[in-house]
Structure 1
Amino acid sequence: MILSCSKKSLEKTIGLEDKEEVSEIDETLKVILESEFYTPQTTFSVTKNLVDDYAVDNSFETDDSQKLQQAIDDVSALGGGKLIIPSGDYSVAEINLKSNVHIVIDSKAVIRPSLRTDDKNYIMFGFGKESDKISNVSVTSNDELEKFTVDLTHNNNINVAVFSLGNVENFFLSNFTVLDDYTDFSAVTAGITEYNGAWYFPKNGIVKNANTLNADYGYGMVQIQAGTNILFKNLEGTGGVTLRLETGWTKMNDLQLGGVSNIYGQNISCTNGNAAVMFSPHAMHNGKAYVENITANSCGFAVRIEGGFVSKKYTNPELVDGTFEEVEIKNITTTFGNNAQLKPKHYKYMPCELRNQVATEPIKPGGESYKGPSIAGVVNTPNYLAVLQESEVIANGYITGFEVVNDEESTTNCE
């Protein structure tokens, strides 16, 4: 898949030092087809029902993890098929998906993470985490127009991820709402995972029709640190970053394994958060990423295009600033508001007259982000090819000059 843009937009590239090196590219943007990312299964060997076949009792008080895992194992062992989760209340954690299992969850179902007595990081649903490769898997609602619910607001611990993608190929996640409570993970995470001395990462998949509410500044709907040929579509986030292409995991950077390539995003929105879309390579060298139709309402930024850097946490002495091979962003609409999530490191991009409107107390106790006014439409500080035509940034309510900002335009000498 090749990203295409007009030559005119390339001439307004942000982060490109020598535009004479840019070759002629087709005028028409590529049509993104879901069939290029995921192949759905059309026949099923078996269909199981979690309540009818495994006597799950529809109570939050009961940990359903063991029965759900048994059902997944059975469906996979029988040649693959559907596992129906009816409407009701469920508590699960540390579930491992298996190949050829397609979970269909009733839109009226509510799933919570099982209560824990320790404070270790954990996941609810793992896709090829510390296991052999799994393939041809999906989790979705039984109704294309209605979402099932994952409720994190009653969890005693805040260190939980809902879906974690590892050694998985041909996957599909769709139609879910995550009720967050400023947890310390994005709802969907994707990264490298080790199995038998080798490292793997997700390939060929779709995450679509999902939203998260009350996410923390540093997290949000999705964070992908490793993966190739993945489509993110129709994603909404209240709080945090909705689609975070940030490859900052210390181990991955030190090993120089992972990173992202051929990542596509369509219809990504943010409300009262950090940003709708973020690019931050740290010390990884990533491939191409293309995101279009981005909306932000009262967020710090609609899009953050960050340069690479070598963190002090990394121990590999040969690391250099990370990059993307190419980033292209199309069609941004952002509206100024006063309920954005902000960090002091970005105040330098904010108009001086707005800085006294930032709250003095963090959004959550002990947190590092503050409620305040939107800073700018787009912040652009890359050290790699990032294509953005400023005429495609519609910024409503911003002070003139703060539609798109960079380091050269930052205002550090406010009274």
Structure 2
Amino acid sequence: MKIKNYYFKMEVLKKALLISTIFLCSQFDSIAQSTIGTHKATIGTRNLTFFVNRVKVKDTAIFRNGQATAKQVNDEIERLSALGGGVVKFLSGTYTLGQIHLKSNIRIEVESNVTFKIDRSNGNSTLFNLGRITNKSQEQISNIEIVGAADNPNSWFTIDLGNFNPLADATPFKVGYVKNFALSRFIIKDNYTLNPSVFLVADSRYLGKIDGRHTYDLETFNRIPMQGVVKNAKATKIGTGYALVQPFSGKRIYMENLSGNQGITVRLEPGSGKAKDDLNLTKSKKMGSIDDIYIKNVSNELGFTALFIKPHAKICSNIYATGLSAKNSLSAVYIASASLTPLGRRGKFINTKIENISFTQTIENKVTAGTNPLKVENYPADSGLEGLRFMTELHRTKLIAVRNSMSPKPGVVSLVTKDAGGQRYKTHPIAPVVYTAKYSATSVGSTLGRYNVDLPSNNEIKVLGGVYTGAKVVYRNEAKVMINGTADTDYILK
């Protein structure tokens, strides 16, 4: 009887342990919100759906304590996708991974206290790849989500780019030929790298080097990201010319609760705009464009701007943005003119509305005395070359004083303090809105590449305390030649 009682007690203990395990698993699932769920919004008169959770969980793969390789993760993604859908979970730990290729019907759930680093072996610079393969035309993938534990920022997962030097290529999220996707609840610890952290691009097919340059099939730039959400994310040490999120191409994209330290937070810019940028060489001004974009609550501090838009050769349409703010940055909104040549290649933004803009400057404009060298700590904002045409008079006269004390006199731009990445510049904050795509407050101008955006009135653009006392909106005709302060006519009419 004693033996029977022993086995009976063991069976009871096993059942209790099993019930406890099931309970703990269910508790994890309830605490770690498994999906952000359906996201809808209105742009103009159109009610649009941006994301619907369609992942059917046939099975779950779990990685723990930083123990995973890219091959192991990719194998599990392949297996779960072949089953019809599933979840990959990362529990707390630091994971160094090569490129992870997402497949249809996969959700990656990331627990709090998870850090990802990119394994740079064999020249890799990407972490999560959603449908971007340059050398073949793959089928569109769909129904993909990468989600942190909860909306509280303390629970977001981290992608640490500290193993990349400034100006190295790094892309935490590469988003290509995918439909119905969501990325949320993460922090990017950047290091002034090249490329946006969330980079939405056409899955164009690479043809190789032709006449010494990388060339793509112009007929494949219609393979773009569609119906997606990027929400609840922040980045630090963003390079001035780059962003937390940038669509080169994208249709029906929802962005909310995004913050950036330095650089740009959200950049709507199709392609690079360089002379041989294949996206902007396509015959159609709509192929690979940026359309049906909803933006809400985007901020930037000590950087360039919260929202930057520039169309290059594309007609970008149906854009709505609200809740844009900046603190000690160059601007909260920067609306740039298309500048491609010939003029006939220039595009524009249409049906674009921006509301609820706010701007705060708490760092007083100051310069070093006399002809002493410029000090970077006096210039909190990031800027490109164009922004320097609108610099404060205090900054401009300081530059001239330093230049005039030198023999021979160098080019004035060479004296401007460089940004952390060394590619662009530092200056004082300029205005809540810098609007170089419009000649003046009353005239768009006749040059191709200029366009109207529906902005709030000056009274509605908020300056929230601090020391800023300038104009609410600065227009193209206010640009000055740095060396003498006269109107920069060549640029204004260009």
TM-score by length of 1: 0.83
2:173 corresponds to which of 163, 171, 183 = 163
Aligned position for 1:22: none
Distance 1:69 1:371 in 2: 42
Three-state SS of the structure 1 residue aligned to 2:308 is: strand
- Deviations along 1:198-217, one digit per CA (max 9) or x if unpaired, are 44001111000000000100
Structure 1 residue 300 corresponds to structure 2 residue 325: no
Aligned position for 1:387: 454
Distance 1:114 1:357 in 2: 45
Q: What RMSD over aligned residues (CA atoms) do the two structures have, in Å?
A: 2.5
Residues 399/209 of structure 1: CA separation in 2 closer, same or farther (3 Å cut): closer
Residues 356/159 of structure 1: CA separation in 2 closer, same or farther (3 Å cut): farther
Three-state SS of the structure 2 residue aligned to 1:363 is: coil
Structure 1 residue 370 corresponds to structure 2 residue 425: yes
Q: Look at both structures and tell me which one has the larger radius of gyration over its CA atoms.
A: 2
CA contact (8 A) 2:56 2:85 kept: no
Distance 2:89 2:122 in 1: 30
- Deviations along 1:248-284, one digit per CA (max 9) or x if unpaired, are 3411001243010000100000011110001100111
Unmatched segments (≥5 aa) in structure 1: 5-29, 52-56, 312-316
Letter in 2 for 1:274: F
Residues 370/308 of structure 1: CA separation in 2 closer, same or farther (3 Å cut): closer
Aligned position for 2:477: 408
Structure 1 residue 39 corresponds to structure 2 residue 52: yes
- Deviations along 1:73-119, one digit per CA (max 9) or x if unpaired, are 1111111011111111111232210000000011111000003354x
Distance 2:52 2:42 in 1: 20
Distance 1:162 1:319 in 2: 35
Three-state SS of the structure 1 residue aligned to 2:357 is: strand
Structure 1 residue 123 corresponds to structure 2 residue 91: no
Distance 2:42 2:336 in 1: 23
Compare the two structures and name the one with the higher helix fraction: 2
Moved more, 323-332 or 42-51: 42-51
2:184 corresponds to which of 163, 174, 199 = 174
Alignment of 1:183-262 (within 5 A): 183-194=193-204, 198-199=220-221, 200-249=223-272, 250-255=277-282, 256=284, 257-262=287-292
Distance 2:42 2:117 in 1: 40
- Corresponding residue pairs, total: 372
Letter in 2 for 1:178: I
Deviation at 1:351, TM superposition (A): 2.6
Q: Which has the higher contact order (CA 8 A, sep 6+)?
A: 1
Residues 330/148 of structure 1: CA separation in 2 closer, same or farther (3 Å cut): same
Moved more, 263-272 or 284-293: 284-293
Distance 2:433 2:69 in 1: 44
Letter in 1 for 2:120: L
Residues 318/300 of structure 1: CA separation in 2 closer, same or farther (3 Å cut): closer
Aligned position for 1:309: 339
Compare the two structures and name the one with the higher strand fraction: 1
CA contact (8 A) 1:350 1:376 kept: no
Distance 1:219 1:399 in 2: 26
- Deviations along 1:279-300, one digit per CA (max 9) or x if unpaired, are 1001111112111001101111
Deviation at 1:31, TM superposition (A): 9.6
